[in-house]
Structure 1
Amino acid sequence: MKYHIILSLFGNTKNIDYIDGEQAEKAVELLGASPREVVFTSGAAESINLAIQGSRSPNASAETKPCITVMLVEYKAVLDTYYALSKKELAEIVSLRIDSKGRLDLVQRQNLYERLAQYLVDSTEGGNG
């Protein structure tokens, strides 16, 4: 019920007082959250960027960069954010191939799984796991 209220009262970005401080406080209160736990953004692209970049470990480095798989049918803001991480050498991005009907290339996926399995074996055998 409370999520319906939040979406109906605070989900309309055309409302000129959408992010008014008083309404923002009400939204945070309805969520049962602390004001430090809620971030209001101006739209989807900003939210996606914040969520993806915010999910990275604060201890991540070029040596521990994650390997992220994406499909080229992803929302442009998702792809742009991942490719920006790759450009900064903060993540390795693997684009999963799809056919003309949007189906995943299963051979490529299997190769990625085998690569991951080998990485896990190597890191365990080396005493790092």
Structure 2
Amino acid sequence: MFGKRTQDINGVANEKWHELVETLGSTEAVRRASGAWDVLAGRPTPTRAWPVLRAAALGVAAGWVASEFYRRRQPQIDQTIEQTMDKVGNELRGAKHQLDERIAKAKATPGSPMDKAKAAVGRTNASNGMTESGYLG
């Protein structure tokens, strides 16, 4: 009694499912719909190793291209790195020299710590428009 009815229901469900799959159009949608139907029916889904193999082959190819690019351009890359390191080194030496000059200028300036700080920064009352009293004048 229940066996015949279950087969009829399964047959109708399969028929409707296949109609849906045919209307989807794209092969990716059909593949996903078939996989979903397999899961709903309790069947194991087929494993596809091709996407993994394609990704691995693409990774190997990209690595080979990158290594060939580096191998052929290595002198240029090394020269660029060396020039950049020289430039950064020169800028650091210049910044240190400027800082040393400011410290020496501050030490050589007589007066209060505020006068020494102003000398180190390079600001004086005359240069910023202030009078000795602190007001613009």
TM-score of the pair, normalised by structure 1: 0.24
Which structure: larger Rg? 2
**Which structure's residues are more often strand, by fraction?**
1
Q: Which structure has the higher relative contact order (CA within 8 Å, separation 6+)?
A: 1
